[in-house]
Amino acid sequence: MRGIFVSSAVTVCAAAALTLPFLAIPSAAVPAPPDGASVPATRTPAGAHGVPGATQSLPLVPLGPARRAARPGGTRAVARGLPPREVARFSLVGIVWDDAATELRGRAQVRTRGAGTTTWSAWQDVQTHDDDRPDPLSPEARRGRPRGATAPLWVGASDAVQVRVHPKAPAGRASGAPALPPGLRVELVDPGRDPAPRGRGLGRQAPAPAPSPSDEETASSAANYPLAPLGATEIPALARPESEKDIDATHVDLTGATDARPPADGRGEADPEGEGAEAPGETVSGPADDTDPEADDADPWGHYVGGRPRIVTRAGWGADESIRERGFPYTTTVRAAFVHHTASGNGYSCAQSASLVRGIYRYHVVSSGWRDIGYNFLIDKCGTVYEGRAGGVAKPVRGAHTLGFNANSMGIAVLGSFGGTNPPTAVVNAIAGLTAWKLGLYDVNPLGTARLVSGGGNLFKKGTTVRLKVISGHRDGYSTECPGDRLYNRLGAVRTAAARLQGR
């Protein structure tokens, strides 16, 4: 299919944490100071008729002369942080700064106090990196003001926080330049409660009727038709060969779309930069490569569509559709899948997965300044698949997940950190099932390779044509530790399983 609108290019996986020594700050339980009053939170209307989420944004302050790191040239770079402080309840934390193009060179750590307790956690590293941002010339970057951001860290229900960021002055920095980016703030995200179950009237008292969905909720849900009815909280699994009919759902409605203003009806947006030219990140057309398993013109389109997995929709995990930009950014097709980990830690239960997804969504949009959550899909440790960026799970929605390669690809993020932890078998199976279905809708072999044009990054210069495996890790397109060694090492098994599920 031919495409459409070029949106953002952001990666949302983290590089390995720096191992700089920290100036000593006691890690024992620290009571909040007398002036540590709760901070008013930025709240929004409830998503999917649930309880609204909230974001608290607090500036980081200098930690004092005793907590400074020497820099080349005799100057000194000041560590910044937040003393122990009581705040409104939150469950996810991250650090942002003003300029998305500026790196945070240093080590960031937080510790939190469990809600309603006197127990503080140990210091935890927050993954710092510079690869999570929209492409500078993308509509997503031009329309908004993306901020630099660390990976978010899930800490569970907490009501107090302490932060420290120790700078590292890189060689070659001009004398007097700040070692830490300006505008550092800690973002404390309350994801709100899960949406109330729909269609269930158990108990003696009948449930109150749900309010009418908003225009944004309706548009987001309608983008998944005919895979599920309007307002559905999940898209059911569908076995082969019935799943071949899902190809019809890949069609993008661009009626009345313009780039200057997102369409009010929530339909797709046209790509002003991609008309009549090969846009960065798009698949390069050319003669078939008989060494590429994907090059098999003898088989009819749709013959190798894997069974559709069960997918929890945005309504199902409680997305607050009012905070994202209206309209949906589409690219031309889907030729590759990039696998990520969220680097948000593994300290969550599967019952908390929807809350974690809502927290990441709010962190990407409210704190980082993106149009929507960056990933196209998310998978929890139990193998449940969640719809990510709005626009339709079968459609070629352009995400913000792999800087330089967001066009004609999809981003799949596994909730957790897998640098030293093995991904559960359920996760590996879920990635295989999802890619077998979604890549199959676009006639792509999971064992093949895709020729893509880089939109710019630290591995491939803008305009460079590269060949990547159809199912790649984030690190294949950008120099990063993502998706962690343990998950990356399972991608070979994912490719084999996905091809088998397609019937190859």
- Which carries the bigger pLDDT value, residue 195 or residue 236? 236
Q: Report which secondary-structure segment, H or E, holds 411.
A: strand 409-414
Both 288 and 348 in a single domain?
yes
pLDDT of residue 229: 96
The burial class, CB within 10 Å (0-12 / 13-18 / 19+), for 402 is buried
Q: Spell out the SS3 assignment of 55-93.
A: EEEEECEECCHHHEEECHHHCEEECEEEEEEEEEEEEEE
Average pLDDT over residues 303-323: 96
Both 163 and 303 in a single domain?
no
Which has the minimum average pLDDT: 28-32, 368-372, 415-419?
28-32
Confidence of residue 38 (pLDDT cuts 50, 70, 90): very low
Helix (H, G, I), strand (E, B) or coil at 468: strand
Domain boundary among 173, 190, 207: 190
Both 119 and 224 in a single domain?
no
> For residue 226, is the peptide bond before it cis, meaning its omega torsion is within 30 degrees of 0?
yes
- Which carries the bigger pLDDT value, residue 410 or residue 271? 410
95 forms beta bridges with 186
CATH at residue 265: 3.40.80.10
pLDDT of residue 439: 98
pLDDT of residue 74: 41
Both 134 and 269 in a single domain?
no
Instruction: Give the model confidence (pLDDT) of 164-173 as tens digits.
Output: 999 986 655 5
- Does residue 324 fall inside a structural domain? yes
Both 273 and 176 in a single domain?
no
Residue 255 has pLDDT above 90, yes or no: no
Residue 346 has pLDDT above 60, yes or no: yes
Q: How far apart are CA 477 and CA 399, in angstroms?
A: 15
Confidence of residue 328 (pLDDT cuts 50, 70, 90): very high
- Does residue 371 fall inside a structural domain? yes
Helix (H, G, I), strand (E, B) or coil at 294: coil
| Helix, strand, coil tally for the chain in percent (to 5) | 20, 25, 60
Count of CA atoms in the C-beta half-sphere (13 A) of 9: 26
The burial class, CB within 10 Å (0-12 / 13-18 / 19+), for 26 is exposed
Both 250 and 319 in a single domain?
yes
Range of the domain at 474: 216-501
Confidence of residue 37 (pLDDT cuts 50, 70, 90): very low
CA angle in degrees (0–180, nearest 5) for 449-413-312: 110
In total, how many domains does the chain have? 2
pLDDT of residue 208: 53
Residue 110 has pLDDT above 90, yes or no: yes
Both 112 and 220 in a single domain?
no
Confidence of residue 178 (pLDDT cuts 50, 70, 90): low
Residue 237 has pLDDT above 50, yes or no: yes
Both 335 and 435 in a single domain?
yes
Question: In whole angstroms, what separates CA 268 from the centre of its chain?
Answer: 20
- Does residue 2 fall inside a structural domain? no
pLDDT of residue 169: 62
Which has the minimum average pLDDT: 105-119, 256-270, 303-317, 448-462?
256-270
pLDDT of residue 298: 42
- Does residue 197 fall inside a structural domain? no
Q: How far apart are CA 302 and CA 310, in angstroms?
A: 20
Both 370 and 485 in a single domain?
yes
Residue 71 has pLDDT above 90, yes or no: no
- Does residue 21 fall inside a structural domain? no
- Does residue 98 fall inside a structural domain? yes
Both 317 and 428 in a single domain?
yes
pLDDT of residue 170: 60
Q: How far apart are CA 154 and CA 140, in angstroms?
A: 26
pLDDT of residue 254: 66
pLDDT of residue 130: 62
- Does residue 198 fall inside a structural domain? no
Both 231 and 169 in a single domain?
no
Domain boundary among 175, 190, 205: 190
The burial class, CB within 10 Å (0-12 / 13-18 / 19+), for 262 is buried
Percent of the chain with pLDDT over 70: 70
- Which carries the bigger pLDDT value, residue 201 or residue 96? 96
Instruction: Give the model confidence (pLDDT) of 396-445 as tens digits.
Output: 999 999 988 998 999 999 999 999 999 999 999 999 999 999 999 999 99
Average pLDDT over residues 269-298: 40
Burial 288-312 (b: 16+ CB within 10 A, else e): eeeebbbeeeeeeebebbbbbbebb
- Cα of first residue to Cα of last residue in the chain, in angstroms, is 23
What DSSP string runs through 85-121? Answer: EEEEEEEEEEEEES-TTS---EEEEEEEEETTSSPBP
On whether the CB atoms of residues 108 and 128 are closer than 8 A, the answer is yes
Residue 273 has pLDDT above 70, yes or no: no
Average pLDDT over residues 27-34: 38
Domain boundary among 190, 207, 227: 190
Which has the minimum average pLDDT: 22-31, 130-139, 153-162?
22-31
Residue 260 has pLDDT above 50, yes or no: no
Confidence of residue 297 (pLDDT cuts 50, 70, 90): very low
- Does residue 390 fall inside a structural domain? yes
Which has the minimum average pLDDT: 28-42, 315-329, 349-363, 403-417?
28-42
Average pLDDT over residues 463-482: 93
Confidence of residue 195 (pLDDT cuts 50, 70, 90): confident
Both 225 and 139 in a single domain?
no
Mean pLDDT of the chain: 80
pTM of the full structure: 0.82
pLDDT of residue 179: 79
